[in-house]
């Protein structure tokens, strides 16, 4: 519908431009918000991975520690027979093993 005067034509153009600019501003605002959110997610992921790396989360688990170093152990086939441990020395009586020293049981 054509405007009736120059003044009305300009006013119609201004309104059309304002609507167009509002749509573009909304698009740009949503894009910036999305980029900011993705940036925060990336920063959080980098910080989390850095923390996990510093605490050793990605390291291979170490084997359990041994009681004796392996260099000091003499193989039993090379050990003199008088120094081999006997079964009597290694067995623990069952009734002594169930109670801790100094504790009394009440029945």
For 5-63, write each residue's pLDDT tens digit.
999 999 999 999 999 999 999 999 999 999 999 999 999 999 999 999 999 888 887 77
Is 70 domain-assigned?
A: yes
Q: How far apart are CA 4 and CA 13, in angstroms?
A: 13
Which stretches of the chain are DSSP H helices? 6-54, 87-90, 94-98
Domain count, the chain: 1
User: What pLDDT does residue 104 have?
Assistant: 58
Domain range for residue 61? 6-95
Predicted model pTM: 0.46
Backbone CA torsion sign across 72, 77, 80, 81 = positive
> Is 107 within a domain?
no
Which pLDDT belongs to residue 58? 85
Residue 63 domain-assigned? yes
Segment 86-95, tens digit of pLDDT: 665 555 555 5
Residue 66 included in any domain? yes
Residue 104 lies in a domain: no
Nearest to 74 by CA among 84, 86, 65: 84
């Amino acid at each position: 519908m054509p405007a009736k005067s120059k003044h009305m034509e300009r006013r119609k153009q201004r309104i059309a431009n304002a609507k167009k600019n509002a749509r573009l501003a909304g698009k740009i605002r949503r894009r910036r918000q999305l980029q900011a959110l993705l940036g925060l997610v990336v920063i959080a992921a980098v910080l989390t991975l850095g923390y996990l790396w510093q605490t050793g989360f990605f390291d291979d688990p170490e084997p359990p520690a041994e009681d004796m170093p392996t260099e000091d152990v003499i193989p039993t086939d090379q050990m003199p027979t008088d120094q081999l441990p006997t079964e009597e020395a290694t067995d623990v009586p069952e009734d002594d093993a169930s109670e801790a020293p100094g504790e009394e049981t009440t029945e």
